[in-house]
Structure 1
Amino acid sequence: MYKFFPHTQEDLQAMMAKAGVKDLDGLYAQIPEGIRFRGDYKLPSEMSEMEVRDVFAKIGSQNQQLTCFAGFGVYDHYTPSVIPSLLQRSEFLTSYTPYQAEISQGTLHYIFEYQSMMAELTGMDIANASMYDGTTAAAEAMMMAVSAGKKQNKVLTKEWKKEQKAAKKARKAELKAMPGKERKA
């Protein structure tokens, strides 16, 4: 499966018209002429990914590196190109527990490993990684909180109507609402 299909000239013309530019160079009009790269990259017709990365790393090394203080995860980081491919594998697209246990031992094993690591990383006593949706996850979390807690029939929650109904249905628990905004269904 290919991830990139080049745009036709008609596509490019329509996009440039929408952007209000006459040609592709118009997209870069605000970049000062003195810092634009106008040369030829001189790449051979075939290169490995690592070779292409090396070439562009050399070009990029001409840039001045500044420290970013933006915070909130905005910092220099590297994501290997294999990550998007791995994340698109069907077994990572859903956390649904498979029904045919005998043919799904690998899936069940990595779900167990993941939730065990999450519990260890977060320092929580309990973690679960196999949920269908928010309501089911909330109901199961409430059931676990009631089961693991000292008070066997009370759960502290925000006023989430769907989750409250699911939790009450799943386990007869008294729900104590904590202050918070009502979530619209």
Structure 2
Amino acid sequence: MKKVALSFLALLLSGCVNTELSTSQSQYSVENQARIRLFGQNGRPTVMEVNLAGQKEKISVGGGMGQALSSLVGLKGNESLGMPETIFSKNPSQFSVIGSTPFFKEFIIPANAEITVNNSISTPPHKFQDAVGNVIISYAYCTGNKITFTAKAGKDYEVVPSQSSQECGVTLYELN
């Protein structure tokens, strides 16, 4: 029992890892930075890659084990830097499916950085027998389109997943 509890704690804390683009301790400067909001959820992460002067950083929202587990049980909250609200950020539950509560996280990104975003959907395997007794294992997986853009100083961006839980893909909005 003790090993199970420690394993669960390690899994939960794995979602608390900070990246260099973490939202918590950064001061936003409109002169040389931009902000971006990414939506994620269990089984449907959004991935952002920031490329500045040959240095790359990859960030996944909803893809880490801790984030996915929190999304599964509905405990993962939004992390906002004060970006303007949209119809998507006011009601992230419009992307909800059973066992997967959506949330968003906002990041400060460097201006003039090349930003690439996309998402994917993966479902756990489902095992069943067909009418003649054959065992069938089915699951769904897809990777959405990649969108690449150059972040402009003082701008806010939002990356929104497809409205359908059956389709991969994201749409990029410039908010101001």
- With the shorter chain as reference, the TM-score category is under 0.3
- Greater strand proportion: 2
Bigger share in helix: 1
Question: What TM-score, normalized to structure 1?
Answer: 0.19
Query: Could you state the TM-score of these two structures normalised by the residue count of structure 2?
Result: 0.20
Relative CO higher for 1 or 2, CA cutoff 8 Å, sep ≥ 6?
2
- The structure with the larger Rg is 1
